[in-house]
Structure formats: structure tokens, C-alpha cells
Chains A and B, each alone.
Chain A
Amino acid sequence: MTAPVERVAVRGLAAVVGGWLATSGYAQGLAVSAVALGAAPSSAAMVVTLTACLVYGLALLWAFAARSVWRAWGGVLAVYGVGLLLAHAVPVVSGWLEGSL
């Protein structure tokens, strides 16, 4: 079967490695944000556990469905970056808000 997309190997790497990174970023961002905003840690952990595999699956599809390799990698790295940003920023902002109130 002829591939309908170009640079399959690079997209495959984006799917497996990039997908894992995106899932990891999503999991950290969601868990830390939820705890910082008052959720029980076990509830935050459970939401992450129940949804992380869906994010990985969607990242896998995205890596091949994106119009170009740049978009494929860009998408998964963006999710990773936003996740890490949330994981670091939300506790700081939340602490700052609590202090100021």
C-alpha cells in the first residue's frame, strides 16, 4: 500500500516519542493544576490515569493526519510545552492568589 503521507519514519517517531512526551506533559499539567486548585491528589491522579491513554492515542493519529511533518511534531511538542507550563505556573499563581486574598 502506497503511503498517502510523506516522511513516514519521522512521523512514526513523532507518534511514539512525541506522543509519549505530549501525554507526559498533559498528565503533569492536569495533575498539578487540579491539586493546586483544590482537588484531592488521588482524584487528580485518577482523572489523569483514565484519560492519558486517549491523549496518547489521539497524538498517534495526529502525527500521521497532520499536513506536514512540522505540524506533526509541532502539535505534540506544543501539548508537552503547555502541560509543563501549567505544571509550573498554576501552583505559583494559585499560591500568589491565596497570599493576596
Chain B
Amino acid sequence: MTSAAPSLTRVMAWLHGWLGVVAGWLLFAVFVTGTLAVYDDEIDAWMQPERPVLQALAHPEQISIDRIAETLRRDLPATVDQWIITLPGERRDFATAAWFTPDGQFQLRQINPISGDWLETRQTAGGDFFFRFHYRLSMPGVFGKALIALVSVVMLAALLAGIVIHKRFFRDMVTFRPRAAERRVWLDGHLLVAVLFLPFHLLITYSGVVMLSDAVMPSGVQAAFADKGTAWRAGWMADLYPQGPLPSRAALGIKAPLVSLDPLLAAARQADGGRVPRLVIIEHPGDQAALVQIHQSWDGQINRDPQIWVHDGVSGQVLARRDQQRGLHQAYTVLAGLHRMAFADPWLRAMMALGGLAGAAMIASGLILFARKSSRSQPDGSRSARFVARGNVGALAGLGVAVLAFLWSNRLLPVDLPARPWAEVGVFAAVWLLAVVHGCVMPSVGRAWRQQGAVFVLLALGLPVVDWISRPIGDLAVLPLVAVGFGAVVLAVITGWRPSRLAVRTVQKGGPVPLSLVLKRRMFILWGAGGGLILAGCLWGWSAAQGTLLWSLLLSFIALVWAVAVGLWRSRMPRQ
């Protein structure tokens, strides 16, 4: 019945292409938003420009939970029976207070950790939106997580298939031929970012799937805790710690004053070498059965497994202290820590962001390559190739436009708009949808790419202007500068990529190069190098970013003069 079986390499090559296409658009969005989420706190800070700089960790002894508790006691309804207070960390210098309303709604507000007053800032989806989008598409429930877990498994399989079909790992790592045929350039680029960053791609994909696996494949855990019935998750959590579960009490309904919390905080700080604890949870505040949990800081720890002290909320007596998890669970928390990189210093986080961008570039180049390869193998243009080519425009370029529109909306929407975070997310979704439709209905795919690229450049280069106009205090921030860097690189590609290659070929054939081509080639180098310099400066740090901005402006000016002068000189030379 079966004919001669195709070779494994051929099947894997075919599968690699199709797995990439099936999951590629979503994976590209996951990688881009995941990369943005590496800087979620910084994006949050940019999206709330009215938030004052507190530098709370510079004076940890001034941080007061008693003042925060006083504000919560004054302003929250008495029915709220749990306060969750997050204290400042290395990347954020304010505190937050969170609670559940009686109807189960989660509420979170920012608070000054020194004075205990509410911070009056605009409502925004913030950098947290990118974080939530990248692992559950910002959807409630399990559907978004399940979809991301499935495409992540597909990515894992595509990576394994890719490893099977490649035999020249070390050559691919250093091969890039920008002057070769265009399809070869895309393939070289795809292989370069795939092979060079392969350990990162494998780690981030594997750890991502593992982090989502208990939500979508709970049967194994449920089976291990079958004796706990529907409470299997609680049983699992309790079994992770040899000391058993943390103490818990029901409210007694007898009023009693909450113990002074600042001495407990000071003791916890002293026990942890001066580091400010990160989380304080107060259960049943004002009740005789009140409990206070103090969680050690997890800044700088790969394994987010903080020591926890539980105090009686009235007497302040220590009831329990929880230390390390079971050994095997630490493998999981270390893996999750490596995925989040919350422990990392700025350099390591920059490397993480670079890896994320490489992943996005690998997926994008693979998708573009698929469309070109399919249309080439079938000269009349196969339906799948046309579909992928059109979808690529909205899914790849459109996402960049939508992200920038999201940032613009943060500054342009009225500050007192009701449900403001949802309005920002709505702008993101609407612009992305519009871009997808635009990519599908435009007669020419190339023109759709250029138009969306042009919109991206306009939004990116305009972001510092919007920032400057709408920012009440302070000077230019890093985020708009990053946008300018990307905008310059995209501008280089859409204006100079093809003319630049054409100019090189004309020179190789010994023909004269028209002035317009020379100028476009100069502009390609100019914008590409300038954008790259600005992005490198942003990775280095804020002061370096300012420096490289000035340098790239100066170099741009010199290069422009040079481009025009050389172009004019060449155009006056007699043609041979």
C-alpha cells in the first residue's frame, strides 16, 4: 500500500516549514511582546510620566508599612479581609497595595512606601500588558494559556526538526552573504540567528512550555495527588515544603488592633542582610485572628523561593518560618527564573532582549522564506504561498505598528478616560487588525510592506516628539530613543535595501551607477548604522544612549554631505 518511504531529512524539512507557518505568526507576537516584557517595569515608568522618583531603596529605614496600613484602613471597606502589599525592589521604587473586593474583583493601586499616601498616576495597561499578552494573550481563563502552550510545543518540535535537517552547524553560524540572491540572503539570515542563538531558543521555549504545562496538562499532577480529589493543587503546594503549609485561620469577628508592623519589617530586614522584604500579606486586618506574612526579597535570585515569616497579627509573635522547597521543585523554579530573568543585571537582561529579538527575527525570516520558496517552486504562485505572503505583512509589520500605536495612545488618550487601560489595549488590537486587513486587500504585497513600514517609521520617529510634548516633567526618556533606533533601521531597509543591492551589482558588472542609486545606498548605510548605534547605546545605558544619539546625528550629517558630494562628483564623470 505504501510507496517508497521518503527520507527522514526530507520529511523533517517539510515539517519544519509547515510547523513554522502554522504557529509562526503567533510565535512572532509571543517573542516580540516577551522581549518587551523584559523591560516591563521601565515601560510602566514611561507610561506613567507623572509618577515621582522616590528612590525608596536608598533610605530603606524610611519605608513604613504602618503608614501604608493606616491608609488602607482609612480608605478600604472593612469587608476586605486581605491586604497584599508589594514593597520597592531593584527596578521599581514604589509600593503597591492589592486586595479583592467582596464581589471577587482584584484591585491594585500604587502607593508611596515612605509617606503611605496613594500615588495619583494615570491608569494604563503598561508594560504588564506585554507580559500578559506573551503568555496568555491577555485572555482570562485557560484558553490563551493553552493556545500559547500548544504553539510553544510546535516551536519545540520545529526546533528539533530544524536540528535534524541541518548538518553544517558551525558554518551556518558564521555564514551571511548579503550580496547573494535575495532568497539566499533570507536563508542565511534565518540560519544565522537560529544557529547562533540555538541554546537560547531551546531554553526559552522549553522553560516556557514547562511553566504553562500544569495549566494545560494537569493530569499527571492530579494523578500524583489523586487522594486529595479536587484539592490537588493545594495538596501539591503543601507537599512542596517539608515544613508543611503556612498557618491559616478563619476570622473570629472579634475586633483587635493590628500589631505595629514596622518593627517586624526592621527585624526581617536585619535577618536578610539589610535587604528590604518584598511582599507583606495581612490576613483579617483588625480581627483577633489576624496574620502577617513577610516574604524576603527575591531581587538577584534565579530561584524565586523567598523565606517567609508568619506572625500573629495582634501580638506579633512568630508562628512559622518557611525555608527551602523540596530539591526537585527547585529545578522548576530555577528554570522559571531563567525564563523570567527577573534576577538579572541590566547587561544580562540586554542579552535576554537580544535573544528575544533574534528569536523574532528567526521566525520572521522563516515565514518570509516560506512564502518566497513556495511561490518560486510553483511559478503561478501557490495559494498557500500567497496566503502566507499576505498574512506576513499584517502579522509581522502590523505588530510593530500596533505596539507603537499602543505607546502613542498612552499619551494621546485623555488622562481621565474611564477604563483607560482597556482603551489602550483596544487601540493596539484595532491597529493590528487594520494592518492585517490592509495586508490582505492591497493589490501588491510589496507595496503593503512599504506602506506599513512607512507608518512604523513615522510612529517611531514621532514618539520622542509626543513624549516631549506630553511629559509634564523630566527630560527625554530611553523608550522613545529605542523606537527611533528601530525606526531608523526600518527606514534604511525600506528606502535603501533594494537600490543598494542594485548599485553593488551594477558596479560588479562594470556599469555606471546612477546618482539616485548612489544616494539611496548612502542613505541605507547612514540610517542603518545610525539606528544600530542608537540601539547599541540604549542597551549600554541611558548616558551612553544620549552620547550615541549625538554621535549618530553628527555622523549622519557628515555622511549626508559625503553622499551628496560623492554622488554629484560621480554623476559628472564621463560614462564609459
Which residues of A does B touch, CB under 8 Å?
1-6, 16, 19-20, 23-24, 26-28, 30-32, 34-35, 40-50, 52-54, 56-58, 60-61, 64-65, 67-68, 87
Cα–Cα distance between A53 and B159 once the two chains are bound (Å): 13
Q: Enumerate B1-55 residues with CB–CB distance to A below 8 Å.
A: 1-2, 5-6, 8, 10-12, 14-15, 17-19
Q: Enumerate B198-239 residues with CB–CB distance to A below 8 Å.
A: 206, 209-210, 213-214, 217, 219-221, 223-226, 235-236, 239
Cα–Cα distance between A68 and B522 once the two chains are bound (Å): 56
A24 touches B11 (CB 8 A): no
Residues of chain A within 8 A of B425, CB atoms compared: none
A27 touches B223 (CB 8 A): yes
B217 touches A60 (CB 8 A): no
5 residue pairs, one from A and one from B, having the closest CB atoms: A27-B220, A48-B220, A4-B6, A53-B209, A42-B239
Cα–Cα distance between A50 and B206 once the two chains are bound (Å): 9
Residues of chain B within 8 A of A16, CB atoms compared: 150
A41 touches B157 (CB 8 A): no
A45's contact among B152, B161, B220, by CB below 8 Å, is which? B220
Cα–Cα distance between A59 and B318 once the two chains are bound (Å): 51
B154 touches A43 (CB 8 A): no
Q: Of all chain B residues, which has the CB nearest A24?
A: B219
A to B contact number (C-beta, < 8 Å): 127
Residues of chain B within 8 A of A4, CB atoms compared: 6, 10-11, 14
B156 touches A46 (CB 8 A): no
Residues of chain A within 8 A of B221, CB atoms compared: 27, 31, 45, 48-49
A48 touches B224 (CB 8 A): yes
B107 to chain A, nearest CB (A): 32
Cα–Cα distance between A65 and B7 once the two chains are bound (Å): 9
Q: Could you list 25 examples of A-B contacts with CB < 8 Å?
A: A1-B374, A4-B10, A6-B2, A30-B220, A31-B221, A32-B223, A32-B224, A42-B224, A42-B236, A42-B329, A43-B326, A45-B221, A50-B331, A52-B213, A52-B220, A53-B149, A57-B156, A57-B157, A57-B160, A58-B157, A58-B160, A60-B153, A60-B157, A61-B157, A61-B161
Residues of chain B within 8 A of A27, CB atoms compared: 217, 219-221, 223
B6's contact among A5, A19, A28, A31, by CB below 8 Å, is which? A5
A50 touches B239 (CB 8 A): no
B498 within 8 A of A: no
A61 touches B220 (CB 8 A): no
Residues of chain A within 8 A of B329, CB atoms compared: 42-43, 46
Which residues of B does A touch, CB under 8 Å?
1-2, 5-6, 8, 10-12, 14-15, 17-19, 149-150, 152-154, 156-157, 160-161, 206, 209-210, 213-214, 217, 219-221, 223-226, 235-236, 239-240, 326, 328-329, 331-332, 335, 370, 373-374, 377
Q: Of all chain B residues, which has the CB nearest A11?
A: B15
B231 to chain A, nearest CB (A): 13
Q: Of all chain A residues, which has the CB nearest B332?
A: A46
A65's contact among B8, B154, B328, B332, by CB below 8 Å, is which? B8
Residues of chain B within 8 A of A46, CB atoms compared: 328-329, 331-332
A50 touches B209 (CB 8 A): no
A31 touches B223 (CB 8 A): yes
B226 to chain A, nearest CB (A): 7
Residues of chain B within 8 A of A48, CB atoms compared: 220-221, 224
Residues of chain A within 8 A of B150, CB atoms compared: 16
B328's contact among A19, A43, A53, A87, by CB below 8 Å, is which? A43
A67 touches B2 (CB 8 A): yes
A100 to chain B, nearest CB (A): 23
Residues of chain B within 8 A of A87, CB atoms compared: 223
Which of A42, A52, A60 has the most C-beta atoms of chain B within 10 angstroms of its own C-beta? A42
B223 touches A61 (CB 8 A): no
A8 to chain B, nearest CB (A): 8
Q: Given contact pairs A5-B11, A31-B220, A46-B329, enumerate 20 new A-B contacts (beta carbons under 8 Å).
A: A4-B6, A6-B2, A19-B153, A27-B219, A30-B220, A31-B223, A34-B224, A35-B224, A41-B235, A45-B221, A45-B225, A47-B328, A53-B152, A53-B206, A60-B153, A60-B154, A61-B157, A61-B160, A65-B12, A65-B15
B235 touches A61 (CB 8 A): no
A1 touches B373 (CB 8 A): yes
Cα–Cα distance between A63 and B219 once the two chains are bound (Å): 22
Residues of chain B within 8 A of A52, CB atoms compared: 213, 217, 220
Which of A5, A32, A41 has the most C-beta atoms of chain B within 10 angstroms of its own C-beta? A41
A41's contact among B153, B160, B236, B331, by CB below 8 Å, is which? B236
B15 touches A40 (CB 8 A): no
Residues of chain A within 8 A of B373, CB atoms compared: 1
